[in-house]
Amino acid sequence: SQQGEEDPQALSIQEGENATMNCSYKTSINNLQWYRQNSGRGLVHLILIRSNEREKHSGRLRVTLDTSKKSSSLLITASRAADTASYFCATDDLKDTGRRALTFGSGTRLQVQP
Amino acid sequence: GAVVSQHPSWVICKSGTSVKIECRSLDFQATTMFWYRQFPKQSLMLMATSNEGSKATYEQGVEKDKFLINHASLTLSTLTVTSAHPEDSSFYICSATWDRSTSYEQYFGPGTRLTVT
């Protein structure tokens, strides 16, 4: 299974509401990142939180990291229709190849209704 | 800064033909580039990692002879899907970084949608 599992798989909310997405991972990490992907497009980096950090803010985004539970959450406050997208967490892992690379979670599809 | 482009953005090819996808770092030198594949409504799966001037490192289950990767310069990596089949239809995304030792601060291209008929 993938390193990062996210829940919920899909989330539908009204504009102005907050959206919370969770990510769990299995191995120890140096950092965890969150990305956004609009349908059929590339990824946009949202925020990176290092393993020694517990919380980080960026505009309407708030990310928490609990390394004891191997989990992270992304909170989007005061959501807008333009926030409609898929959101992925990603951890940097040591691959079987001996190299470090990102492993992406399964993603949460967020739909914000105007 | 840190812009990555991909070309083409979409391509349709016939089964059995080969398709080349380019990934370019426009304003930085990319020591490492990554190639991912994404099927509809699924996550990104890493296919291979390429360092400039050396052979690509493929993830388990990815056929080296089918997905040829060349990272000939610090700004260009190419992925060639050889003898493409309909099951190769997917969204291919590259990312690039200038730091050999870490995988964070990756910058992603906009992706290439491949449809094999």
Contact with chain B for residue A105, Cβ under 8 A = yes
Residue A82 pLDDT: 96
Which helix (H) or strand (E) segment holds residue B68: the answer is strand B67-73
> In angstroms, rounded to a whole number, what is the distance separating the alpha carbons of residues B33 and B94?
7
Residue of chain A with shortest Cα separation from B39? A40
Residue of chain A with shortest Cα separation from B4? A42
Residue A57 pLDDT: 96
Rounded to the nearest integer, the mean pLDDT of chain A is 90
CB A100 within 8 A of CB A18: no
pLDDT > 50? residue B108: yes
Residue A1 pLDDT: 33
Contact A88 B43 (CB under 8 A): yes
pLDDT > 60? residue A59: yes
> In angstroms, rounded to a whole number, what is the distance separating the alpha carbons of residues A40 and B38?
10
Residue of chain A with shortest Cα separation from B113? A40
Per-residue pLDDT tens over the stretch A16-33:
999 999 999 988 888 899
> In angstroms, rounded to a whole number, what is the distance separating the alpha carbons of residues A37 and A49?
19
Per-residue pLDDT tens over the stretch B1-36:
689 999 999 999 999 999 999 999 998 888 889 999
The closest of A106, A102, A109 to A6, measured between CA atoms, is A106
> In angstroms, rounded to a whole number, what is the distance separating the alpha carbons of residues B35 and B13?
20
The closest of B45, B67, B43, B44 to B56, measured between CA atoms, is B67
Contact with chain B for residue A42, Cβ under 8 A = yes
* Arithmetic mean of pLDDT, A94-111: 84
SS (HEC) of chain A: CCCCEEECCEEEEECCCCEEEEEECCCCCCEEEEEEECCCCCEEEEEEEECCCCEEEECCEEEEEECCCCEEEEEECCCCHHHCEEEEEEEEEECCCCCEEEEECCCEEEEEEC
Q: What tokens does A41 get?
A: 């497009």
In sequence order, the β-bridge partners of residue A36 are A44, A87
Residue A94 pLDDT: 75
pLDDT > 90? residue B99: no
Q: Does residue A8 have a cis peptide bond before it, meaning omega lies within 30 degrees of 0?
A: yes
Rounded to the nearest integer, the mean pLDDT of chain B is 90
> In angstroms, rounded to a whole number, what is the distance separating the alpha carbons of residues A70 and B68?
36
Contact B91 A40 (CB under 8 A): yes
Q: Which of the four pLDDT bands, split at 50, 70 and 90, describes residue A3? A: low
Residue A93 pLDDT: 77
Q: Which of the four pLDDT bands, split at 50, 70 and 90, describes residue A2? A: very low
pLDDT > 90? residue A63: yes
CB B50 within 8 A of CB B80: no
* Arithmetic mean of pLDDT, A42-67: 95
Contact with chain B for residue A48, Cβ under 8 A = yes
Residue of chain B with shortest Cα separation from A4? B43
pLDDT > 50? residue A46: yes
User: Which residues of chain B does A106 touch, with a Cβ-Cβ cutoff of 8 Å?
Assistant: 42-43
Look-up of token digits 């296919």: B47
Residue A37 pLDDT: 94
Chain B: closest CA distance from residue A91 (Å) = 9
> In angstroms, rounded to a whole number, what is the distance separating the alpha carbons of residues B49 and B33?
6
> In angstroms, rounded to a whole number, what is the distance separating the alpha carbons of residues B73 and B1?
19
pLDDT > 90? residue A100: no
